[in-house]
Structure 1
Amino acid sequence: MAYVNGSVGGGVKDLYGEDSATEDQLITPWSFSVASGCTLLRDPRYNKGLAFTEKERDAHYVRGLLPPAVYTQDLQEKRLMHNLRQYDVPLHRYIALMDLQERNERLFYKLLIDNVEELLPFVYTPTVGEACQKYGSIYRRPQGLYISLKEKGKILEVLKNWPEKTIQVIVVTDGERILGLGDLGAQGMGIPVGKLSLYTANYGEKILVQFEDFANHNAFDLLDKYSPSHLVFNDDIQGIASVVLAGLLASLKLIGGTLADNTFLFLGAGEAGTGIAELIALEISKQTKAPVEETRKKIWFVDSKGLIGSSRLQSLQHFKKPWAHEHEPVKELLDAVKAIKPTVLIGSSGVGKTFTKEVVETMASLNKKPLILALSNPTAGHSSTLTGS
């Protein structure tokens, strides 16, 4: 599944800045011109709702199609925030925001930008996980492109059906591991739709392609294949890593020392965990001038089969092999904590309730100020059993 975002370009500009397709524009097999009246009010890119002035209502044939009051965008924003705060159920806020995006994009993005801290949890995680699980029930109108096996050999024809020519961002997913929930198929469209709600910058002439929630065996291969030649990134491998590294660097103000003074133990060796670990190793290498092969030795992993060590090297997936250090086999997380004596424990697994009281107490006994990050998705699968988060 892919959701693409952009605007048509290259034709004759109309009074809204929209393009009328010319004969040499072969991206889409059809064209459209400026809308007015009801058609304008149903176009989320240009509909301003009650913010249309008296002159605009006459010029664009919408007088009488709207209530007579004229409300500025700022006033509309205040009213919408008041309404959103009346909802107690996060999914209801998500639905209300998606409804707004589908009727008035400008107001949606102004609302999101001005209230980013309050609204991000409803536009994306953690609410988007529930939205994906119920996507079929809350479906409103087509969003994004669906490419299935039925389109094998006809992908170009499918892409031509997208109504925009100048594309700036593409988020692509196969839906196989949406938020650790499993393969949600077509309902995984909620993730790329949510991602692109967050991307409002102009990325220039190049197209940014984001790989989202692919299974491990595909995610690393796709990133390795296309990153040398295309503007691509994988949020699970690289995006999460940057946020966690920022958190670790900030935590040094409390626990003291440098990043290189710490020993890291991860629960979960998938895209997120190994992506975070590699960025930590690179940062330590940058700070200490030591080879990254050496700095990786400060980072350990526990997966479903126990501690990743050199004795398992032959059976490991390729992205786990850099973390297979010399150590006797250890099966359980608690035993790994006792053996490795980490200063930082990071949960990046979809299996919940693994940071038990015993694990946390052991970390506390080994360190004056242990750092424990329970990052696992979905929310219900967080590693911690002490706080439920």
Structure 2
Amino acid sequence: MKEHSMPAPLPLSIETELREFEVLSNPLLNKGTAFTEAERDELHLHGFLPPSIQTLEEQVARRLEALRALGSDLDRYVMLRDLQDSNETLFYALLTQNIEEMLPLIYTPTVGAGCQRFSHLYRRPRGLFLSYPYKHLIRQILAHPHFDAVEAIVVTDGERILGLGDQGAGGMGIPIGKLALYVACSGLNPRTTLPIMLDVGTDNPDCLADPLYVGWRHQRVRGAEYDAFIEEFVSAVRERWPHVLLQWEDFAKHNANRLLGTYRDDLCTFNDDIQGTAAVATGTLLAAINVTGVALTEQRIAVVGAGSAGCGIAALIHRALVEAGLSPAEADRRFWLVDRQGLLVEGMPSAVGLESFQQRFVQPAGAIADWSPRNSDRIDLFDVMRHARPTVLIGVSGQRGAFTEEAVREMARHVAQPVIFPLSNPTANSEARPADLLAWTAGRAIVGTGSPFEPVERDGRPYKIDQTNNSYIFPGVGLAAVALKIRTIPDSLFMAAAKALAAISPARANPRGNLLPPVSDLRRVSYSVALAVGLRAFHEGLLGESMTLDQIEACIRAHVWEPRYPILRHVAPD
């Protein structure tokens, strides 16, 4: 795909009935010290602000200086959240101009601590808490005029936050952070985004015992009552916003795939943990084979963590293998999924009680008939490395150190350039450290991680490890979905996103280069992904009948918001 220039920002003027503190307390309108003399006259702001009028660039410099002076990343996270709640334009200008530095602060790994401390850090309302005891009020809550402009929703129930598990109402930090990335990385307008926490209780004893816990202090609702609550929520969303993008985030394994399967054909929706993770892993793998020179059809893939994310990755890579020429049956046998109970194999304890989405990746008993596993009750990762000899190792287990030294060294004995992606978040839950992986493979491994790590040394120079993060995928998918009003989001659109990411890999031109563009280039990446997704959606008939091929790029361009202050004009209320 060719590179595309970003759209030039257009001047914007906003009329408002608000004045004085009402303007200053509205994060979408507040400009702080950047209000002009005319605006201060018209909005009655003299005296409420210091007299010096400053530019947005000067404000960014001041906030950046204050941020860097803080003593911990959690303190920086809190400061950024406060800034977002007081001045969104300044917040997003700071993010977009310093995205590589800010990404770990507003999302992984720092957002994990933010979720754990959410009740103790809570200051101002943002988004919606839809709590089970008030399920009868969902439609009334969503009907508020404040939400008229909503185009994108990220929703969680807080049960599987990153690798931290059930955080209850603290899980709200994830939709807030995810939507901040949508705005910063792809240019969705912040006024059109809505984070939602479905508070159905928590089974986390620490939350239930915490006197400051802000959520519904109750055991989690499950079963038919849970499903009815979800259905009430989805039907209310569909009724309120017929063309909204609804992204599911950090739902537990037993609900994530099931809910996606229930609703994916009825509205514009996806689960980023399943499909976004799959697309970035697939796109990075497609980039890696340009370096290894081993054809995609020759790859053998081991996945540690056979939950919704692991099976989602396997399913999309399976699709890529079939598109590359393998039969579905041939592609089936290229995957080795290892869970806590070991390799998923027919007749083994690890294959008992599996979810339907896991069953397709269970190896037949005949595939391991001549193996000699070290343990009588399970086949571990080392056994898989010794006998299956995978070329690719992907981790989404949430288990720190799951990629053991002996297993990685065994992999390196059979593969010239092992492709290894420890993708679990936050950093503390990563399956392995990049420096260790390179040491265990004599520097031959091609590594991508889910969270940021310090640079490693390669060829005598610092080398930044690729952060194989969903932020390369979901912002572009979401931009296309919102701008083009895509009706549904099948896996074929995520395949288009993965291929678009691989197409702009620096390693295509330089095998010693990175697999992925720098994080600082995420806006351009998201724009390329959005175009690819939009074109694929057009060819699959997922756009409105009035949309022509020539209109797609212009429509996406028009939807990209830039963090610039508008001109505010006061109008008298009716």
In 2 relative to 1, CA 385–67 (structure 1 residues): closer, same or farther, beyond 3 Å?
closer
Task: Return the match for 1:323 from 361, 365, 371.
Answer: 361
In 2 relative to 1, CA 314–132 (structure 1 residues): closer, same or farther, beyond 3 Å?
closer
Q: Find the aligned partners of 1:241 and 1:58 in 2 and give their Cα distance.
A: 53
Counterpart check, 1:305 vs 2:341: yes
Counterpart check, 1:296 vs 2:294: no
Sequence identity (%): 42
Counterpart check, 1:373 vs 2:421: yes
In 2 relative to 1, CA 17–277 (structure 1 residues): closer, same or farther, beyond 3 Å?
farther
In 2 relative to 1, CA 385–51 (structure 1 residues): closer, same or farther, beyond 3 Å?
closer
Q: Find the aligned partners of 2:111 and 2:145 in 1 and give their Cα distance.
A: 24
Task: Return the match for 2:278 from 221, 226, 241.
Answer: 241
Task: Return the match for 2:51 from 50, 63, 68.
Answer: 68
Q: Find the aligned partners of 1:36 and 1:112 in 2 and give their Cα distance.
A: 28
Aligned match of 1:16: 14
Q: Find the aligned partners of 2:260 and 2:177 in 1 and give their Cα distance.
A: 21
**Cα shift readout 1:226-250 (whole Å, capped 9, x = no counterpart):** 1112110101001111111122122
**Cα shift readout 1:246-294 (whole Å, capped 9, x = no counterpart):** 2212222321122221100011101211111111111121122x34343
Aligned match of 2:391: 343
Task: Return the match for 1:141 from 100, 104, 124.
Answer: 124
Give the conservation status (yes or no) of the 8 Å contact 2:282–2:317: yes
Aligned match of 1:101: 84
Secondary structure, counterpart of 1:39 in structure 2: helix
Q: Which runs of 4+ in 1 moved over 6 A?
A: none
Where relative contact order (Cα < 8 A, 6+ residues apart) is larger, the structure is: 2
Moved more, 58-67 or 203-212: 203-212
- Structure 1 residue 311, shift from structure 2 partner: 2.4
Aligned match of 1:126: 109
Moved more, 100-109 or 241-250: 241-250
Letter in 2 for 1:198: L
Moved more, 272-281 or 314-323: 314-323
Give the conservation status (yes or no) of the 8 Å contact 1:356–1:385: no
- Structure 1 residue 152, shift from structure 2 partner: 3.2
**Cα shift readout 1:351-380 (whole Å, capped 9, x = no counterpart):** 222211111111111111112211122322
Q: Give the 5 Å matches for 1:185-334.
A: 185-200=168-183, 201-202=187-188, 206-288=243-325, 290-312=326-348, 315-326=353-364, 327-328=367-368, 330-334=378-382
- Structure 1 residue 114, shift from structure 2 partner: 1.8
Letter in 1 for 2:395: G
Q: Find the aligned partners of 1:59 and 1:293 in 2 and give their Cα distance.
A: 70
In 2 relative to 1, CA 154–41 (structure 1 residues): closer, same or farther, beyond 3 Å?
closer
Aligned residues: CA RMSD:
2.0
In 2 relative to 1, CA 42–152 (structure 1 residues): closer, same or farther, beyond 3 Å?
closer
What is the TM-score normalised by the length of structure 1? 0.87
Q: Find the aligned partners of 1:336 and 1:87 in 2 and give their Cα distance.
A: 46
Counterpart check, 1:89 vs 2:127: no
Give the conservation status (yes or no) of the 8 Å contact 2:336–2:384: no
Q: Find the aligned partners of 1:182 and 1:376 in 2 and give their Cα distance.
A: 13
**Cα shift readout 1:31-77 (whole Å, capped 9, x = no counterpart):** xxx21011111111101011111111111000111001000111111
